[in-house]
Amino acid sequence: MIKASDLSITIVFDNYPYRDDLKTLWGFSCYIETPENTLLFDTGSNGRVLLENMKKTGSDVKKVDTLFLSHHHWDHIGGFDSVIELNPDVDIFAPSSLSRLLVKDLRSMVRSVSVADEKSTMICPDIYTTGMMGEDVEEQSIIIDTDIGAVVITGCAHSGIVEIAKRAGSILGKKIALLLGGFHLMRKDIEEIDEVVGGLMCLDIDHIAPTHCTGDLAMERLHKAFGKRAMVVGVGKRVELPQE
């Protein structure tokens, strides 16, 4: 179990702004530091912007030992080549939706490539994948086991943010301390959004940090429902984990 105070998450690519000196483009990526590992979750859509944002937030691409890719969409994998050009010494955890030919090529370029299936497995100490979820667009999310609960990070949440939160909570058998990332509600109407918000409110979730493809209307509804338990995030935000 990782002490929440020893875990650092910095959003390094996002279409929502936070720090004025960083660039926003469509996509998502965050830099995760634990006492034992440094992970990059997704890579946004553009390597140049990703690396620039990483530099400005003090996120060292050369320290990354694990590259986790949630799903194959361009706005999540677009920057990977820039990352491995500077740091090929990484273990990639790829979604099964990634092209097999690309996986084959990557195997000759980096330390290792593991392709996820539907089972939850350990990525590195105290960090797990949910396993592949969803039907139309298959996607994996990350679960970090901390002393204040599970920290769950999603790319787009194509398989449904409520389903992901439920699965993540049951994998660790503990409450969710923080649910962060894209909630994929941008094309939903208010009734559909409120149903999802209601579903999340019924689960044991302390804090949410919706961003990326959540959508402005859903963002408003989520912040209204969760109040102070909803964090305002965007590119450049270093997420402070609430202490217990």
Rg (CA), the chain: 16
What is the SS3 assignment for 74?
A: helix
The span of 31-39, 70-78, 146-154, 194-202 binding Fe ion (CB under 5 A) equals 70-78
207 membership: H or E segment, kind and range: strand 205-211
- The tokens for 92 are 């990639």
The residue (of 155 and 236) whose beta carbon lies closer to Fe ion is: 155
Task: Please report how close the Cβ of residue 125 comes to Fe ion at its closest, in angstroms.
Answer: 28
x/- site string to Fe ion, residues 29 to 68, per CB under 5 A?
----------------------------------------
> β-pairing, 205-211 with 127-129?
unpaired
163 membership: H or E segment, kind and range: helix 161-172
How many residues touch Fe ion (CB under 5 A)?
4
* 130 contacts 105 by C-beta, under 8 angstroms: no
Whole-number Å distance between alpha carbons of 95 and 236: 26
Does 73 participate in binding Fe ion (rule CB under 5 A)? yes
Residues 156-195 that bind Fe ion (CB under 5 A): 156
Among 14, 42, 75, 126, binds Fe ion (CB under 5 A): 75
Does 14 participate in binding Fe ion (rule CB under 5 A)? no
Task: Please report how close the Cβ of residue 87 comes to Fe ion at its closest, in angstroms.
Answer: 23
Residues lying near Fe ion in the complex (CB under 5 A) are found at: 73, 75, 156, 213
